[in-house]
DNA sequence: ACCCAGGGTCGTC
DNA sequence: GACGACCCTGGG
């Protein structure tokens, strides 16, 4: 671990609140001074924005520039993507204007899988709490500037956890799902490294769906928010169902609308960028 | 105190 | 494909 600093200027699409509070990540918190600090795979990262300058302070196990470029997906041109999506639909344009500073992160696959299994029928404060509890009990302690941080446990660390211990950490009925999925990944029944070799999104999705606790919604979140990074998916939760029905489908009872119907409308409207469209719509609807 | 809903999945019919 | 069950917690 090494303390490092890195700064970029005039980065398009980069607002701290939009990135860290749009629901894609659970281990970033705002500090009193307005900066955000997060615990990622490679260590601790602090981000502050001063006008057009974004400054990253890190305590990391690898080169900060390399980590930041990958994690924040800085190679991708969001200006073009937002323009393309804005032209497709007037409602989408409005939500893009609202969440214009969003970037979709490349989060560690293993951590993303477990985090979104925990997210099932749960609320964000509690999800964050549970992940923090798991990290405190099974992850490594890192001390930086006299403050303690707990890394998300590695696969073999979490594989030591029993169902009962997980239940004590507040997982509720998700304890068994996290336990079983961890065992399957730990003994390489499903090898996460090999998932990166799969090019076809649907095939990849099928393989994720084999994990206990991973259904269609969680699988799509993993594909979108992890470093598998697919935009041709459309996670449907209560908020997205709500906004898609209100804007496009207009069924009297939103619960009568099938997932397939929503997915078909989404692909028809937004095409291969539907995952990104989903995130703008989700963020806009949840905050308004 | 009580009720409801939350970034759903799973088993059953 | 349609139901209900499922842990727990914050907010009304």
Query: What is the per-residue pLDDT for A71?
Result: 98
Q: How far apart are the first and last CA of chain A?
A: 41
- Can you read off the two tokens belonging to residue A268? 């028809």
- What are the phi and psi torsion angles at A66 (to 5°)? -60, -45
Q: With contact defined as beta carbons under 8 Å apart, do A279 and A104 qualify?
A: yes
Q: Give residue-wise pLDDT tens across range A19-76.
A: 999 999 999 999 999 999 999 999 999 999 999 999 999 999 999 999 999 999 999 9
Establish whether the CB of A173 is closer than 7 Å to any nucleic acid atom in strand C: yes
The answer to whether some atom of strand C lies closer than 7 Å to the beta carbon of A10 is no
**Token couple for A261:** 């119907």
Q: How far is CA A189 from the centre of its chain?
A: 24
How many angstroms is C1' of C1 away from CA of A48?
49
* Whole-number average pLDDT of chain A: 97
Contact A209, A216 (CB under 8 A): yes
pLDDT, tens digit (0-9, with 9 covering 90-100), for A246-263? 999 999 889 889 999 999
What is the per-residue pLDDT across A148-180, written as a single tens digit (0 to 9) for each?
A: 999 999 999 999 999 999 999 999 999 999 999
A120 touches strand B (CB under 7 A): yes
For residue A221, pLDDT beyond 90: yes
Residue A129 has pLDDT above 90, yes or no: yes
Taking the CA of residue A218 and the C1' sugar atom of nucleotide B11, their distance in angstroms comes to 18
Show the beta-strand stretches assigned E in A10-153.
Answer: 28-30, 36-40, 43-50, 53-60, 141-144, 147-150
CB of A172 under 7 A from strand C? yes
Q: Is the pLDDT of residue A288 over 90?
A: no
Q: What is the DSSP string of A164-188?
A: HHHHHTT-GGGHHHHHHHHHHHHTT
For residue A8, the SS3 value is strand
CB A127, CB A119: distance < 8 Å: yes
Q: What local confidence, expressed as pLDDT, does residue A112 receive? A: 98
User: Strand pairing partners for A39?
Assistant: A44
pLDDT digits (tens, 9 = 90+) for A69-126: 999 999 999 999 999 999 999 999 999 999 999 999 999 999 999 999 999 999 999 9
- Please identify which residue in the block is written with the tokens 């336990």: A179
Return d(Cα A50, Cα A30) in angstroms, integer. Answer: 15
Identify the band that residue A144 occupies on the pLDDT scale cut at 50, 70 and 90. Answer: very high
Strands (DSSP E) along chain A, which ranges?
Answer: 2-9, 28-30, 36-40, 43-50, 53-60, 141-144, 147-150
With a CB cutoff of 8 Å and minimum separation 6, the contacts of A215 are A120, A209
Q: How many other C-beta atoms lie within 10 A of the C-beta of residue A283? A: 21
Sign of CA dihedral A232, A177, A109, A194: negative
Parallel, antiparallel, or unpaired: how do β-strands A53-60 and A2-9 relate?
antiparallel
**What's the confidence (pLDDT) of residue A37?**
98
Q: Is the CB of A196 under 7 A from strand C?
A: no
């Amino acid at each position: 671990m090494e303390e490092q600093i890195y700064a970029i200027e005039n980065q398009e699409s980069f607002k701290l609140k939009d990135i860290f509070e749009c629901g894609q990540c659970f281990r970033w918190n705002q500090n009193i001074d307005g900066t955000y600090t997060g615990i990622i795979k490679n260590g601790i990262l602090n981000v502050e924005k001063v006008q057009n300058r974004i400054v990253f302070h890190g305590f990391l196990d690898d080169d900060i520039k390399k980590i930041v470029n990958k994690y924040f997906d800085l190679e991708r041109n969001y200006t073009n993507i937002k323009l393309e999506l804005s032209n497709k639909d007037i409602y989408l344009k409005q939500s893009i204007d609202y969440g214009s500073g969003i970037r979709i992160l490349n989060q560690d696959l293993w951590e993303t899988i477990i985090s979104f299994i925990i997210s099932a029928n749960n609320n964000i404060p509690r999800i964050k709490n549970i992940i923090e509890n798991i990290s405190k009990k099974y992850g490594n302690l890192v001390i930086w500037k006299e403050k303690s941080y707990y890394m998300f446990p590695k696969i073999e660390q979490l594989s030591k956890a029993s169902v009962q211990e997980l239940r004590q950490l507040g997982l509720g009925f998700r304890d068994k799902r996290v336990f079983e999925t961890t065992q399957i990944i730990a003994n390489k029944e499903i090898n996460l490294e090999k998932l990166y070799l799969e090019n076809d999104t649907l095939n990849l999705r099928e393989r994720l769906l084999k994990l206990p606790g991973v259904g269609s919604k969680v699988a799509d979140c993993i594909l979108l928010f992890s470093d598998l990074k697919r935009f041709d998916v459309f996670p449907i939760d209560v908020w997205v169902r709500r906004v898609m029905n209100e804007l496009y489908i207009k069924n009297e009872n939103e619960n009568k609308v099938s997932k397939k119907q929503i997915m078909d409308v989404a692909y028809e409207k937004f095409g291969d960028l539907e995952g990104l469209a989903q995130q703008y719509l989700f963020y806009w609807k949840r905050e308004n």
